[in-house]
Amino acid sequence: MADNSELLTPRQVQARYGIAPQTLANYRWRSEGPAYIKTSPSRTGRVLYRTSAIEQWLNERTVSPAAQQAG
């Protein structure tokens, strides 16, 4: 079981969750997507994601087929 405080780079997010780094960058630019950490305010600051933030974001987007039919 992964430690939920583990920090991942965008490439590690892609390897673990299948979300491309460019997709993550697009989400950041549009102020969407999972919460992230930026190590520096400059354009070259490193971006990291907590596994708990990724999993929470995915859970919030999980759709139950039964719930779709009821609505």
Displacement of CA 68 from its chain's centroid (Å)? 24
Contact 54, 17 (CB under 8 A): yes
Q: What is the dihedral of CA 52, 53, 55, 57, to 10 degrees?
A: 160
The rounded distance, in Å, linking the Cα atoms of 31 and 61 is: 16
pTM: 0.81
Taking alpha carbons only, the member of 24, 44, 26 closest to residue 36 is 24
Tell me the pLDDT of the chain (71 aa) as tens digits: 455 689 999 999 999 999 999 999 999 999 999 999 999 988 888 999 999 999 999 999 999 888 666 65
Taking alpha carbons only, the member of 23, 1, 11, 22 closest to residue 57 is 23
